[in-house]
Amino acid sequence: MTTGNDIPDRQNAEPQLKLLAAASRIYGRAKLLMAVQFALTVPTALASALLMAWQPTWKVWLTFFSITVTLVDALCLTRALSRFKKRGALVQQMFDCAVMEMPWQPLRCGSRVDSEDILTDAQDHLAATKRPKELLDWYPTSVKALPLSLARLICQRASFWWDLRQRYRVRGALTTILSVLVVAVFLIALACGDTVQQMILTVYVPLAPAVMWILREIIAQRDAIQADERGLATVEALWKQAMEKRLDDVEALNQSLLVQDALLDNRSRSPLVFNWIYHLLRKRKQQQMEFKADELIKEAQKILQSE
């Protein structure tokens, strides 16, 4: 088995950095749209509930506003957000295939994004961001010591693991926000001395868009977590087969292509994570990811040396 690969060099080459920059720009637009969703649903809905309790005569207009927000979210914002996510996932797939030397599968992935669009998005991102260095060393550079088939598995495992850890935090935060909203409903109704009927009309209706958005996000995060857990378990099972010498290079490539398909699906369908959460977790999780990669590399090297 040939040792060594050029994943660390490929991922920092200019064409791949442009792909990462373009993907970051596309996801940035999607996250801005998600921020608009959040602003129109959670804080605005809470403000509407407070206003309705304070000025009951505004009930009709605030109810109309809440229903309108729900419709705009369902018919416009969610559809646009889905398009951005699919496009960003496709560019990320182009990056992974180039870096890990996997063939592009048109039947599965469709057509690549045009190079002109990649260049435009990449230039926009590099002009707007203050952290261009974050594009470097996307995957652990220590995988250079391993054969490509094993290095791929470590990189794919890192993708699943990183996404999973972020989503655990997001799901917890959303659950907390939902709990606060539920408590707020009863406190506002209690303070106003409302009956159940009055509470539904005065407090719950304005908060309905917020509750619906948060519930939808919690369910989506749960589904994404389950998908990441399945992907992580699959990669770890493949790694075990490789360590037991039951996975040759050809089969390893075929299996990695299937894993990459799962990553594409996850990125296309899963809810986004705000950048501030990513930056908050990045340093510590990066260290943990690299530590695990080094551990796997040492395990593989022992097997390779025994051949």
Please state the domain extents for the chain: 7-131+146-305
| CA 228 – CA 84 distance, rounded (Å) | 21
| Nearest to 50, CA basis, from 180, 174, 191, 173 | 191
Which pTM value belongs to this model? 0.83
Q: What is the mean pLDDT of residues 89-117?
A: 93
| CA 275 – CA 277 distance, rounded (Å) | 5
Task: Say what the pLDDT of residue 206 is.
Answer: 64
Quick one: 124 exposed, middle or buried, by C-beta within 10 A (0-12, 13-18, 19+)?
A: middle
pLDDT digits (tens, 9 = 90+) for 143-173: 999 999 999 999 999 999 999 999 998 888 8
| Nearest to 153, CA basis, from 287, 284, 7 | 7
**CA-angle at 134, arms to 287 and 171, nearest 5°:** 65
The tokens describing 179, both together, are 């709990």
Residue 178 has pLDDT above 90, yes or no: no
Helices 205-243/14-54 angle, 10° precision: 150
pLDDT band at 38 (very low <50, low <70, confident <90, very high): confident
pLDDT digits (tens, 9 = 90+) for 254-306: 999 999 999 999 999 998 888 778 777 777 878 888 889 999 999 999 888 87
Type of residue found at 123: Q
Task: Say what the pLDDT of residue 59 is.
Answer: 62
User: What is the share, in percent, of the chain residues with pLDDT greater than 70?
Assistant: 81
